Amino acid sequence: MPSQALIWIIVAAVVVIAAVVCLVVWNSKKSRAQKSQSEESQSEKVQSEKPRAEKSQSKESPAPQPSGAQQIASQDAAAAGSAESAEPAIGSSAETSAEEPAKAAESAESPESAESPESQEPAATAAVKPAESPEGKESRLTRLRSRLSKSANPFGKALFNILTKDNLSEADWEDIEDTLILADVGAETSAQIVDDLRADARVHSNKDASEVRATLRRMLLEQVGEDTDRSLAAERADAHKPSVIIMVGVNGTGKTTTAGKLARLFVAEGKSVVLGAADTFRAAAADQLETWGSHVGVPVVRADHDGADPASVAFDAAQKAVDSQADVLIIDTAGRLQNKANLMDELGKIRRVVEKKLPVDEVLLVLDATTGQNGMVQARVFSEAIGVTGVALTKLDGSAKGGIVICVQKELGVPVKLVGLGEGPDDLAPFDPAGFVDGILGD
């Protein structure tokens, strides 16, 4: 037992000695690390203060003393120039004060304080860009007649070829009626024209081409309405000023384009125009109208964001037209679907709001001449919703059939006032019945 206890005592002593040794070694390493760190920080401090000391030493170090001869020479030069010392001082201060405005002007013109030339260039270009000179009415009517006469198959030519036959059979009369129907004249109107031709003895007795053509021309003019008043309200002597025109129609008929072209037509007549971009539902509609207006110097009133209240835009446009004493205000509206009651009601709201400021003189329905009888459904609904006073037929060129002119007037009881001839900026002309009939007859 005593020997076993002695062994445990020895083991414990060894353990204690080992722990003490480890503690001493750890403390030694820690002190060395702290000492090394302090030396490094002191070294960095010395290196950072060394340049400062050199700079301060160079500032405090006295300048080298000149020799005796140099002192005497400098004194003589100072005495000799003492009388002139005031003039250079005054001159230098004057030059300094004169240079300060120049430097200020240069700093004002510097890129940092003023806009760059690139940013100023678009504004200057827009300011000096001259407005275009739109084409007049007479040349537009001449082109209307020329384009209609060059169309692929005007129905007037087809009728003329049938009527100049020696003996007209029942099949020929059916061909005449089919030709009229295919030209979108309408079934009822086509039957009436055929009955009139059958009853005209000159068609049966006289086969002279010029006589047949004259008879056909007279009948077509009767259907088109040669004596109908097709003038726009803004062109009349008793027109209001500003005269308000509201453009209506479905999407895709060229309504916004027609509004821009109509503005050009009025500008060609020397009238001042304001455009109202009340089509706030179609993306970029206002931008499109603004482009049209910028070409001829016509201001455009538009909303500051898409989806704004179109009636509010129309009212602002009316106020702008009154303030600027414009001759004509043209309001472009959204392309309404005639089967959407709430959208059609919006048209009525636009008219009521505008009439609080100005009377509405004209409501032009824009129809695509190539849609045929489908356009008649649109025309009837628009006429009931807002009260159409006239029709503007677009795309009435070589691709259109032309008979829609007769049909739309019969259905609505309002005249076709404007026709679109193509895609050019001046391809919109007042409708001329005689020119139209001569064009479809191929004259």
Burial of 173 (0-12, 13-18, 19+ CB in 10 A): middle
**402 known member of a binding site:** no
Residue 426, number of CB atoms within 10 A of its CB:
19
**296 known member of a binding site:** no
Residue 430, number of CB atoms within 10 A of its CB:
18
Whole-angstrom Cα distance, residue 383 to residue 97?
78
**236 known member of a binding site:** no
CATH class of the structural domain 139-443:
alpha beta
**439 known member of a binding site:** no
Whole-angstrom Cα distance, residue 2 to residue 115?
104
Residue 356's pLDDT is 93
**250 known member of a binding site:** yes
Q: Please tell me the pTM assigned to this model.
A: 0.65
**55 known member of a binding site:** no
Whole-angstrom Cα distance, residue 20 to residue 431?
118
**249 known member of a binding site:** yes
CA dihedral 393, 396, 401, 407 (to 10 degrees): 20
Residue 366's pLDDT is 92
Residue 138's pLDDT is 65
**395 known member of a binding site:** yes
Residue 365's pLDDT is 92
**175 known member of a binding site:** no
Residue 261's pLDDT is 93
**157 known member of a binding site:** no
**229 known member of a binding site:** no
CA angle 279, 320, 322 (to 5 degrees): 125
Tens digit of pLDDT at every position of the chain (443 positions): 557 778 888 888 888 888 888 888 877 777 777 766 666 666 555 555 555 545 444 444 444 444 444 443 444 444 444 434 334 343 344 344 434 444 443 443 443 333 433 333 333 233 334 467 776 666 666 666 666 656 555 677 778 788 777 777 888 888 888 888 887 787 888 888 888 888 875 666 666 677 777 888 888 888 888 888 899 999 888 889 999 999 998 877 889 999 999 999 999 889 999 999 998 888 788 999 999 999 989 999 999 887 789 999 999 999 999 999 999 999 999 876 555 667 778 888 999 999 999 999 999 999 888 777 677 777 788 887 788 999 998 887 654 567 788 888 888 888 999 988 778 888 888 888 888 887 777 65
**253 known member of a binding site:** yes
Domain boundaries, the chain: 139-443
**410 known member of a binding site:** no
**257 known member of a binding site:** no
**334 known member of a binding site:** yes
